Amino acid sequence: MTETTTRPAPAEHALSAATAQGQPAIANMLERARAFAAPLIEGEFLDTGENTLAHADAVAAIVASMGGSEAMQAATYLVYSCQHLNRPQEVIAKVFGDNFAALAVETTKLVQVQKQTRSVVTAHQDAGAQTENVRKMLLAFSRDLRVVMLRLASRLQTLRHAAASRTPVPESLARESLQVFAPLANRLGIWQVKWEIEDLSFRFLEPETYKLIARLLDEKRVEREGYVAQLRERLERELAAQGITATVQGRPKNIYSIVKKMRGKSLDFGQVFDILALRVIVTDVKDCYAVLAWVHSHFQPIVEEFDDYIARPKANGYQSLHTVVREVANGQAGKPIEIQIRTEQMHEHAEHGVAAHWAYKEAGPRGYAGVWAGGEYDAKIAVLRQLLAWERDLAGGDQGKGLFDDRIYVLTPDAAIVELPQGATPVDFAYTVHTQLGHRCRGARVDGAMVPLNTPLQNGQTVEVIAAKEGGPSRDWLNPDLAYLASQRARAKVRAWFNAQATQETVARGREAVERLLQREGRTALKLDDLASQLGFRSADQLFEVVGKDEFSLRNIENLLRPQEAAPPADDVPLVRKPRGSEQGSKGGVLVVGVSSLMTQLAKCCRPAPPDAISGFVTRGHGVSVHRADCSTFRHMANRNRERVIEVEWGKPKAGAGDSVYAVDVAVEAADRQGLLRDISDVFAREKMNVIGVQTQSVRGTAWMTFTIEITDTSRLAQVLGVVANVPGVRWARRR
């Protein structure tokens, strides 16, 4: 918790000394933790000059006085071990459990951040450093409530050591202690720690003023203590006579509070430091008011100094009756006496604050976890409210603006604290928790009530996101006029989702164009990644993307597949010659209306088959290319060269000739799995359809397949595709 300046030592001997076989155990945790840490830190020194092991021992004792359990005291030693371990999270988790490891690592991180903050502090930068420290302290609560208690205890011990050894501390550290640590202890109600940090910090910041007040107090100490003892005995005796069981204590007034009162009310020393203080502790609330009535009837109350914190508790839960009275003798009012009246339960809370209500339990083989005795959720809400009030305490400026006017803090249903920008909505919250939760966000409850998704959130609210199982964000979220998003980070995530969707659509469009070209060229067996590599692309998807954006011409692929100097082989084009003067075509023939003995070829881009509606296009040197009437390639060519379109129709097969077969392409998309290709091929085999070619590609769990099958006509194809679509994993199957 305070940094060391020495070189880390090896941890193997410490691990062997503290590790037992099996799962990490809770028994003798404090002893085991000290045994683990001692070999690592007993010869080390902190940057304050204090021995590290001695510091850890003292911090553990302070934690115990604050109400921390033995297990939490044990965590103190593990924090100082972190910087001496190569893999602290892994090593500590193995020996003591994951929760201890997380606590030690998070506390160490907080120490490092605060040290960096102090290193840049100047007299004019206190507010900025203070803001950062408050923010880091606050966020520490969302990870582990014990982190801040350990930091408070460590800082108190650092100041104690410096005072005892008469070692000066850096002004930045003393100011941070006074402006950050003491107010935090105050807001958490850990009064004893708060008072001591204040006095010790003030001692280093203003040593002359501190010594003056201390000397003036000391000069009157004997007289004051005698008078306080007399008052204590009188109150206990008189209250007992009234049937009220009470314990009366003398309450020391800390030096810093005297200075604050002096400066705040423009008082001189004589008006402040002689105030006497008593505390009366009773069993129940009615006795508190009975004591107050007795005190006011036997002493002269100073009305403006009375406060009823029982009827109106402080924001941090503090309850007590405060009154200032004077003893009247011979018509003369004596010295002012400050009296606090509270129950035992109120006193326990006042002494230890929320620390008094922290309970810790063992978590079996999973290690150690800190929980709130009164319910973790309600307690975290209370702590969050205290810390938000704390930042208001530290507010600067004449208008009382808080240090975090640009930030708010809300809770998840599990009571984790989430930091958001001012004006954030439930959608911002969802994206901060998890990107996928943001994408699937469809509704929200704030403090249990349904609200619109563009509702601005407020500090301390509990937010629950209602999410769909799948889906993406709405484009409305990017509309600034609708105010769905206040966070630039969330906006970036929404834009990234839509950009990814657009990219996927572009890639799919490019893939379809490239595959259609390969089918037209009869090169469906060519591996797409090899094709992309030959064209200078890193992957097939990169090729598809530029093709889909029309940034790369398909003619470049055609030129690669069929260089101009190479003439196409004669047998590459299946020709069907028509009998002269006859409408009777050969097997599988196509009739060109009004023309005899003209070569025809079935286009590979759409692979027509009876009874498809067909059209012809007169090519240069290859006769008539026959296309399906709905073929996009044909429509494109026809739009450019309408005069070359020719009417064609299917011919009737000759008597005695067998049925003609036609090759058609079937496209299938499916979730990739073992045996998928075999199962789909079995369907075609059962349906007596011959598969003459298969092309497959799998990307990120999705398989795209193209089957080239032989059929006599397309009448049964729709039925067969329905059977293919029912194969497990298949999303759709259709003819290309």
- Which residues does 37 contact at the CB level (< 8 Å), separation at least 6? 14, 53, 56, 77, 78, 80, 81
Q: What is the pLDDT of residues 464-495, one digit of tens each?
A: 999 988 888 998 999 988 999 998 889 999 99
Residue 443 pLDDT > 90, yes or no? yes
Q: In the structure, what pLDDT confidence band is assigned to residue 192 with cuts at 50, 70 and 90?
A: confident
Tokens (6 digits) for 87? 């893999």
Does residue 375 or residue 325 have the better pLDDT? 325
Structural class in CATH, domain 662-735: alpha beta
Find the range with the poorest average confidence among 79-88, 94-103, 180-189, 704-713.
180-189
Place of tokens 């690669």: 560
Residue 386 pLDDT > 90, yes or no? no
Q: Against a cut of 0.85, is the pTM above it?
A: no
Length reported for the chain: 736
Rounded to an integer, the average pLDDT of 497-511 is 87
Residue 706 pLDDT > 90, yes or no? no
Rounded to an integer, the average pLDDT of 353-368 is 35
Rounded to an integer, the average pLDDT of 111-129 is 55
Find the range with the poorest average confidence among 268-272, 274-278, 442-446.
268-272
Which pLDDT belongs to residue 276? Answer: 74
Does residue 261 or residue 449 have the better pLDDT? 449
Q: Are 203 and 168 spatial neighbours (Cβ–Cβ below 8 Å)?
A: no
Nearest to 552 by CA among 510, 508, 509, 521: 510
Q: In the structure, what pLDDT confidence band is assigned to residue 133 with cuts at 50, 70 and 90?
A: low
Does residue 259 or residue 393 have the better pLDDT? 259
Does residue 430 or residue 29 have the better pLDDT? 430
* Residue ranges of domains in the chain: 12-202, 217-356, 662-735
Helix 88-96 crosses helix 29-41 at what angle (to 10 degrees)? 150
Residue 80 backbone class (left: φ over 0; alpha: ψ -120 to 50; beta: rest): alpha
CATH superfamily of 217-356: Beta Polymerase, domain 2 (3.30.460.10)
Tokens (6 digits) for 508? 């799919």
Q: What is the pLDDT of residues 218-232, one digit of tens each?
A: 766 667 677 888 888
Rounded to an integer, the average pLDDT of 161-166 is 92
Which pLDDT belongs to residue 393? Answer: 53
Which pLDDT belongs to residue 437? Answer: 92
Rounded to an integer, the average pLDDT of 51-59 is 92
3-state SS track over 701-719: CEEEEEEEEEECCCCCHHH
Average pLDDT in the chain: 76
Which pLDDT belongs to residue 19? Answer: 42
Which pLDDT belongs to residue 1? Answer: 52
Supply the DSSP string of 70-103, one letter for each residue.
HHHHHHHHHHHHGGG-SSHHHHHHHHH-HHHHHH
For residue 107, the one-letter residue type is T
Peptide bond before residue 610 is cis, with ω within 30 degrees of 0? no
Q: Are 142 and 416 spatial neighbours (Cβ–Cβ below 8 Å)?
A: yes
Give the C-alpha separation, 366 to 735, whole Å. Answer: 56
The CATH number of the structural domain formed by 12-202 is 1.10.3210.10
Which pLDDT belongs to residue 589? Answer: 61
Q: What is the pLDDT of residues 274-330, one digit of tens each?
A: 467 889 999 999 999 999 999 999 999 988 889 999 999 886 678 999 998 888 877
Find the range with the poorest average confidence among 9-18, 142-151, 413-422, 510-519.
9-18
Q: What is the DSSP letter of 298?
A: H
Domains 12-202 and 662-735 share a fold: no
Residue 570 pLDDT > 80, yes or no? no
- Strand extents, DSSP E, 396-513: 407-411, 417-421, 441-446, 449-451, 463-467
How much of the chain exceeds pLDDT 90, in percent?
16
Residue 585 pLDDT > 60, yes or no? no
Rounded to an integer, the average pLDDT of 247-260 is 79
Q: What residues does 703 pair with on adjacent strands? A: 670, 698
Helix 255-265 crosses helix 207-219 at what angle (to 10 degrees)? 100
Does residue 592 or residue 422 have the better pLDDT? 422
